[in-house]
Amino acid sequence: MSRPALVIWQDSSEWGGVDVLVQRLSAFLLAAEFPHKVVQAHGSRLWEELAPEVRAPPDEAAAWLAEAEVVLLPSIAKMRSLTLMRQEFGGARVIGWVVQPTDVLTAFFPFASKVLPLIGLRSSWAFRRLFPRHFRTVEQAFRRLMEGQGLLFMDGATRRQFDDLFPALSKVEAPLLPIPSPLGTGVAGSPGEADGVLRIGYLGRVDDMKWSALGSLISATLAPLAQQRTIRLVAVAEGSRMADLRSACDRAGIELDERGFLPNAEARHLLAGGTDVILAMGTAALDLAACGKPVIIIDPVLRRSAPPQRLFRFLHEAEEFCLGEFRDAPSYVPGLRSFADCLAMVGSPDLPERAARYVRECHDPDRIFERLLRLLEQSSAKAGALKQDMLAIDRSFRKLSPRYRRSVRRSSAAGPSISSS
């Protein structure tokens, strides 16, 4: 491949929504004959999904980054990558995507991953008081990115929750660029409820974040419902909380049809044709709604003691492309109706078309990726300047966290020091 106009720095360790985003973007760029490389580790699921000619393992990324015109960080948390900090960028411009507000907190602030389950997002202001100098360093880095048109937000909820943390940046404009989804082509109808069974589908990982939404829904909402009717949960899922899912369904008297991981097209076909309604958030919600399935959005929470979700909405009722938001955020916008009222609407004949039309109009991949290319052209944020900000944040972070200092020393033993610029 010739000199890459774009280098996408992903380098992920497990398959998730951002990996799906990168795979779809790369396929679009290949079809458009747009030269690019994707930095990703050997042997990962994303590595296998990418076309061979665009793969770039991290240890070979330096040559491509030195020649790139633009560097895309599909998740802004990549700014904390030690491997990325060691790179030289030439004159490349840069643009970053904020696809989850907690990425900013957990990646950029010490102890956040341990503290947030105790205090929740409503108390995120505490990080401004606990680490004022470090907070200013992070805030200034984001300000420079935003002023250079180098920062994008996945949806309105992500921007609102970013502004909750950085109120001084709330007036700085940054585009919303929603997550794309392949457009559906129609599927076999749902099995209906002739046998009295309510078939609920779930697609996605079952990790801590998603379990905070799904687990409380099972115990607070589905368990009482399962005393009145048979519920079968068809779960195309894998993750660290699968054992909790099995136990919760067993206690609630819910039949669990566990399918593990399936390729995207196979998962869509199975759930679209074999369930009555879908529970999901993020990319998974889009993929099923595109097939004409009614999708109820479930919202996660960080604070362990938070009450369960009481109000819900269908995906096609989303505002500002929101695919789920944290319930304990100060700017959280609750759903519209109870779960029971959502279920009562599932048989509505216009619901499948409303779901599919929403995805066509708001999450069309071609339109989103074409807009992304325009935004890449408009960005004036420099990757070299971002590297200096990344290093400044890292030095500040190390002063605050002894455990992080030890991990940096171990990592630096395997490569050049990141403390030099």
Q: Which residues contact 384 (CB under 8 A, 6 or more apart)?
A: 89, 90, 91, 92
Query: Which run of H or E residues covers position 153?
Result: strand 151-153
DSSP class of 382:
B
Q: What is the 3-state secondary structure (H, E, C) of 243-267?
A: HHHHHHHHHHCCEEEECCCCCHHHH
Q: Name which residue leads in pLDDT, 15 or 196.
A: 196
H helices of 282-364, in order, are: 282-289, 339-345, 351-362
Check if the beta carbon of residue 101 is closer than 8 Å to that of residue 329: yes
Average pLDDT of span 76-96: 91
Q: Is the pLDDT of residue 63 over 60?
A: yes
Percent of the chain with pLDDT over 70: 91
Q: Boundaries of CATH 3.40.50.2000 in the chain?
A: 197-363
pLDDT tens string 340-371: 999 999 989 999 999 999 999 999 999 999 99
197-363: CATH, from 3.40.50.2000, 3.50.50.60, 3.40.50.1010, 1.10.606.20? 3.40.50.2000
pLDDT at 420 over 50: no
Q: What is the value of pTM for the model shown?
A: 0.85
Domain covering 6-180+376-412, topology: Rossmann fold (3.40.50)
Residue 188 has pLDDT above 50, yes or no: no
Per-residue pLDDT reduced to its tens digit, 303-338? 888 899 999 999 999 999 999 999 998 899 999 999
Instruction: Provide the mean pLDDT of the chain.
Output: 88
Q: Are 54 and 73 in contact (CB under 8 A)?
A: no
Q: What is the model's pLDDT at position 191?
A: 57
Pairing assessment for the beta strands 277-280 and 295-297 based on DSSP bridges: parallel
95-120: average pLDDT: 85
Q: Is pLDDT at 383 greater than 50 in this prediction?
A: yes
